[in-house]
Structure 1
Amino acid sequence: MTRLHLNPERHLVSRIGWLRAAVLGANDGIVSTASLIIGVAAAAAKPADILVAGVAGLVAGAMSMAAGEYVSVSSQSDTERADLARERGELADNVEAEVHELAGIYVKRGVDPATADTVARQLMAKDALAAHAHDELGISEMTTARPIQAALTSAATFTAGAALPLAIVIIAPGGWLVVIEAIASLLFLALLGGVGARAGGAPVWTATLRVTFWGALAMAATAGIGLMVGTAV
């Protein structure tokens, strides 16, 4: 008798939660901190002032990212819990109607009515709420909101990203700081874009060019503002 050996598949969508927060945090850390440093340096500030501004930007940015991500994902989590509570009440009130509703979803996906009804009843016999959460509400283990995980990931990756341009302030010569900071930060962004795209299965060059372009635009804008402020003062 031939036995089938089924290998579990690993889908990239399972990474979407932490990957989004990680890439967003690191990208913001590099762009915002590098832009801040370049803007302050362009205003002819002293090296010590530039370093203080960079550190302050790192701390403030990490806290802002953590708080913003926590609030945003918590709102999603609240919505999920409210939908599940409503679904739990509907299941308690009229199970048969919920069976027909779930079967109707499968029919719309191409399953014949008799099979759809059988599948709906079997899934609901095992875990009715889980069946409706997955197929009616679109809530699954892979996509469910995790506020604390998202907040910590964003804060940690923002800090890691911001530390890179901040290190340039320490090692770069004062007269070349703006140029070296800009080039190094764009390289950091290109690397981040490539790594993030690779991990998510997306086109590497597209992601790399995208993050590099917007990073360069942000740095150019703050450099221009720094020059204007420095000249005016």
Structure 2
Amino acid sequence: MNINKLTVATRIPIGCTKYFSSIAQTELPASFVSEDEEYKSVSRDKSGLRQQHKNVLLETTPYNEAHSWIHLTEKYQRSLYGRYGGKSNVNPQICFGTITDRSETQKRQSITQPETVQQLLEKLRVSKAEKQAAIQERENGIQKKLEKLEQWKADLNAKVEKRRADAAAAIERKERLIEEVRRHFGFKVDARDERFKEMLEQKEKEDKRKQKEAKRKVKEDKMMAKLVKQSS
């Protein structure tokens, strides 16, 4: 005999069945057993979340009605409409404010942002154009310098070679003057001797005068050749 089914059907505790032996002797049909009582519904939600948190997780409005004064503010309702749209049951007109609010906003923007959107876009376009023109000009300058790079290298090498030649010529001229001074005395003279220094200085002055005269002669020849070319 099924004692559990018997106690459920008769609403009599198990401990009291000994006082009702006549009832316990008769087993009730299975159709009289209450299925709702035997298999009670058990909640299967193990998340432990509150209903408003579940709604947020399911992307629906957290509350169906206001639960706090914050839920009645424009800021909250605007954010609610911005997130859930028409499902929020919020009038979208609240997102645009009243005429007074828009007027105050326009006054504030006229002070903080006096330029219109078109003016800002035009200023941005001009600024970009100026930057692009500056970049293009710099690139053109770099390209021109690159084209002259080989010529600059040749000029630099020529200057270096000329300085080397001038230095070698100066050393050779110095040695020649020293040799001339020694031949003047007819014997080997110490370079630290005062007579040697005086004679060397005199020879250097004469040599400089000759060089200057030679340069002047070359310059006169060039001018004469230029005049002849112009007259012909």
Q: Is the radius of gyration larger for structure 1 or structure 2?
A: 2
TM-score scaled by length of structure 2: 0.29
Tell me which protein shows more helix as a share of its residues.
1
The structure, 1 or 2, with the larger RCO (C-alpha pairs under 8 Å, 6+ apart) is: 1
